[in-house]
């Protein structure tokens, strides 16, 4: 599963939009792995505010200073995408105990599908432990201050998107 002995990890998610909590997890993961792929999941059951291309663009802009990271998108099973990219690990962020049950289920299913793929749970800085994309979108919709929740570029894109609604 390794390519050139590089330890590759995938951080999958909808990232609609990416938040400072996501970026904190990406920074932490980049310290542990040789390369981190931030992978936008194209889940047709969800109705994202931003298109797949917009999310990829916002993430790319937001993490350009973090070394050894790339941004991509995928459709289908995460384990298949991980195999295609020679990844050894999946990164998942845990904000609170409430995240754990769902994330544990997903990790166990992924392990059942591919025993070689490990899941690494990372906790964001405590200042982001309550933060998620839904809260950010709701705040933006109600003209709340989101300065400390998302990068400036994402804030601008989000405010522009909300004006069009």
Q: Would you name the residues annotated as active-site residues?
A: 22, 46, 95, 133
Query: Taking a C-beta distance cutoff of 8 angstroms, is the pair 10, 81 a contact?
Result: yes
> Which DSSP letter does residue 96 get?
S
In whole angstroms, what is the distance from residue 8 CA to residue 47 CA? Answer: 29
Closest CA to 113 of 90, 140, 141: 90
- 């390794």: which residue's tokens? 2
Phi, psi (degrees; rounded to nearest 5) at 34 = -70, -30
DSSP letters spanning 26-94: HHHHHHHSSEEEEEEE--TTS--SS-HHHHHHHHHHHHTTSTTEEEEEE-S-HHHHHHHTT--EEEEE-
Give the CA radius of gyration of the chain: 16
């Amino acid at each position: 599963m390794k390519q050139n002995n590089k330890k590759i990890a995938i951080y999958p998610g909808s990232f609609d939009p990416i938040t400072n909590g996501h970026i904190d997890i990406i920074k932490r993961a980049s310290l542990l792995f040789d390369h981190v792929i931030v992978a936008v999941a194209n889940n047709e059951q969800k109705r994202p505010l931003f298109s797949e291309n917009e999310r990829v663009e916002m993430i790319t802009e937001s993490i350009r200073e973090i070394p050894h990271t790339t941004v991509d998108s995928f459709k289908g099973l995460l384990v298949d995408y991980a195999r295609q990219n020679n990844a050894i690990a999946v990164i998942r962020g845990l904000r609170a105990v409430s995240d754990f049950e769902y994330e544990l289920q997903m990790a166990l299913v992924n392990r059942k599908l591919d025993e070689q793929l490990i899941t690494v749970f990372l906790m964001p800085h405590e200042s982001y432990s309550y933060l998620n994309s839904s809260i950010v979108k709701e705040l933006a919709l109600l003209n709340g201050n989101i300065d400390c929740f998302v990068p400036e570029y994402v804030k601008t894109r989000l405010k522009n998107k909300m004006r069009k609604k």
